[in-house]
Structures are given as structure tokens and as C-alpha cells.
Amino acid sequence: MSSGRSSLLLSSSPSSALAWSSGCSVAGAARRPRSRPRRGPAISRASGVGRPGVGSPDGGGVATKPGPPVTTSPAVEAPELPALAEPETPAYERPESARGRLARLRARLARSNSAIGKGLLALLSRGGLDEAAWEDVEDTLLTADLGVEATMELVESLKTKVKVEGTTDESVVRGWLREDLLRLVDPTMDRRVASSRVGDRPAVILVVGVNGTGKTTTVGKLARVLVAEDRDVVLGAADTFRAAAADQLATWGDRVGVPTIRSDREGADPAAVAFDAVKAAAEMEADVVLIDTAGRLHNKTNLMDELGKVKRVIEKRSPIDEVLLVLDATTGQNGLEQARVFADVVDVTGIVLTKLDGTAKGGIVVAVQRKLGVPVKLVGLGEGPDDLAPFDPAAFVDALLD
């Protein structure tokens, strides 16, 4: 990196932001100084008090003439100093565990009036399924953003089962739907987020997406997920175009004691900030560094080229272990083209679906996985700080059918 790069700020709490340059030890700057108690002043003898003469005529020494009697002042005790108060340890929040998040995922999805679950069960359980009824089933699935290919697969499977079994009993139909939907969501995909150290370096996660998907908020919430799993996290505020983005990210970090690497200059080179965040995380011996990037429209070539540059610059320092694309679940099929362009530029490895609890279009999970060939790894459930959860296919399907 060039020596002209702007200095950065390392922020781990509002009162402990320390300026550092690329030549400083980030790990050293990040340590909090220990407070040592002060000692009281030394007690000295009174003025004029000496040691008694040494020697005597009998002892061969030099005799001294007796002088006037020496008096000493009474010992004076030093005043007791008040004890210094220990420095206060910041009260960090304790993020919710993954188990608690998954329980709320199911509850919230069950309240979303999913077209896939309630709509299909109502159609399939009424009996007398003629061609018009099956067209209604298709329309319901397409409306739920399942996608044409997956819709045809599911309808054909259900038609076969109804014909073979000769029943439309609701409990039986529910079992068929669960089996087929779970197959479409594909529980065999690896949904783990790369968040553990790789050899002697931290894992690097790059988070990308279009404007308005809640990307910076998602990075902050993901930090909470990882802190709950006892990961040592560093945040990199590489969204240098939106004035409040770095402050917003630092606030998320402050709440759980996670440091944020940010530029002290508005409009700084995002690639330089990302590079220094990875460098700082390595010096801190962190487990994982999360890099937030500026939201950008997928059809703006210059902005997508810049994102590619951020990726290349990071890779000069360290491999990137995870690229998470944040998508707004309420955009449905419109988000799929965005996803494809981002995947071409930065090799997306996982999807984060936000606002999933605010839509009845749960089929987007299947559609985006098929479009990109990568798994949905995390889902956003609401506005709360712990409303981001690992995606669990079985819990998701069960919630749709509740």
C-alpha cells in the first residue's frame, strides 16, 4: 500500500478510539493500559537527626566530645491517600444464542401467512383436484417466488402422489409438502459461515449487496452471532461513501466489544480500508474480520469494477474465505438478477436474506439457491439486534407449514 494512504481509526468503544497509521502496531494500540495504584510519599527523618557517634577511647576509636542532648521530633505519619478506583469495565451486551434465534425464526415465519404453506394446504385438501385446481397450485407457487423450474417439479411430484395414494387428507398432504419442500431447499448444502482462524491468520468475510438491503446492519448483527459463538471479531468499515456507515458499524461493534477499523477521511479508498482491516485483524490475532462494503447497483459497471478492486486488494494480504451477498427477501425475483451480477464479480459463497419475516414469498430461498448454486446461510427476521439467525432448512419448512 502506498505511504500516502490516510490514517485510520481503531474504535473499540466511544471513549477509546485511537488514531493509528499504517506504520504503527495495531495490536499494541488496541490494548487497554492497566491501572496501577499509586504509592504514598516516603517518610523521612526529622531535620537535624543524625546517627550516634561511633567508637570510644577503649575501642580505639576517636572520642568525641559530648554535646548537648539531642532531641527528636515525634514520628509523623503520612496522611492516608484515598484508594484509587479501579477503571470501569465497559458493560458489553450478551448476544442471544443460535438456539434462541432459531426458535424465534420458526415463530415469526409461522406468523407470516406463507402462501406456500397455508395456501397450498387449502388447495390440495379440498378434494376434486382437476386441471384448473392444479393451475391454482402452480400460480400459488409462482406467486411465492419459488421459480418456474422448481414449481413444475413440485406440482408433478404432488400430482403423482395424489394419483397413487388417492387421498387429499390434510395431514397426508402436509407430509408430502414437507418432504418435497425440504428436498427443494436442499438440506445437504454446506451452510457453515467461515469464521474460524485458518492456520496462522484470521478468516476474512467480505459482505456485499445493493443499496437498501440492510447490509451494514447485517454486518453488525453477524458480529453478534459470532461473538455469541466465542469468536474474536474485527470489523472493517470499507463503506466510505455513505457518511454515517462507519459510525453505524462502530456503534454495532461497541455494543459487544468488537473493534472497528475505519478511515478518518470521508471518501477514502475503500480498498485501502479493507486491506488495513485485514492487516489489523492479523496483528490482533483475531478469529475473523468482517468487511462491510458500500451498497451499489448491480447495473453500474464502474461501481462493480470498484468492488472487484476491493476483492483483489484484500487478496494481496490474505485469501478471502467467504463472500456473503445480502438480499432483501421482499424483492423476490427482482433480486435474482442482482445476485447473478454480484456472483460474477466477487464469487459469492453464501446468501443472507433479510426481511424474510415480512414476506409471504418464502420460495425465494429455493429460487436464489438454484440461480447461484450457493446456499442461503443466514436469514434476517426483524429489526432487533439479534434478529439474524443461521438458516435451518428443516425449521424453515416446518414454519411454512405451521
Tell me if 292 is assigned to a ligand binding site. yes
Pull the grid cell for residue 266.
470521508
CA atoms within 13 A on the CB side of 139: 7
Provide the 3-class DSSP secondary structure of residue 189.
coil
Tell me if 365 is assigned to a ligand binding site. no
Provide the 3-class DSSP secondary structure of residue 326.
strand
User: Is the CB of residue 101 less than 8 Å from the CB of residue 107?
Assistant: no
Provide the 3-class DSSP secondary structure of residue 93.
coil
Tell me if 334 is assigned to a ligand binding site. no
Tell me if 294 is assigned to a ligand binding site. yes
Using alpha carbons, list the distances in angstroms from residue 391 to 41, 76, 116, 158, 246: 63, 72, 18, 26, 27
User: Exposed/middle/buried for 86, CB within 10 Å: 0-12, 13-18, 19+?
Assistant: exposed
Distance CA 141, CA 143 (A): 5
Tell me if 221 is assigned to a ligand binding site. no
Distance CA 370, CA 373 (A): 5
- Sorted by sequence, the CB contacts under 8 Å of residue 189 that are 6+ apart come out as 369, 374, 375
Helix (H) or strand (E) holding 248: helix 245-256
Distance CA 110, CA 131 (A): 29
Tell me if 175 is assigned to a ligand binding site. no
Tell me if 293 is assigned to a ligand binding site. yes
User: Is the CB of residue 259 less than 8 Å from the CB of residue 235?
Assistant: yes
Tell me if 213 is assigned to a ligand binding site. yes
Using alpha carbons, list the distances in angstroms from residue 27 to 277, 354, 360: 12, 34, 47
Tell me if 217 is assigned to a ligand binding site. no
Tell me if 210 is assigned to a ligand binding site. yes
Distance CA 282, CA 278 (A): 6
Tell me if 356 is assigned to a ligand binding site. yes
Tell me if 302 is assigned to a ligand binding site. no
DSSP 81: P
Amino acid sitting at position 30: A
Amino acid sitting at position 29: A
Tell me if 301 is assigned to a ligand binding site. no
Other Cβ atoms within 10 Å of 64 Cβ, number: 11
Amino acid sitting at position 209: G
Q: Name the β-bridge partners of 351.
A: 325, 376
Tell me if 64 is assigned to a ligand binding site. no
Tell me if 5 is assigned to a ligand binding site. no
Tell me if 216 is assigned to a ligand binding site. yes
Tell me if 295 is assigned to a ligand binding site. yes
CA atoms within 13 A on the CB side of 161: 17
Annotated binding-site members for GTP: 209-216, 292-296, 354-357
Annotated binding-site members: 209-216, 292-296, 354-357
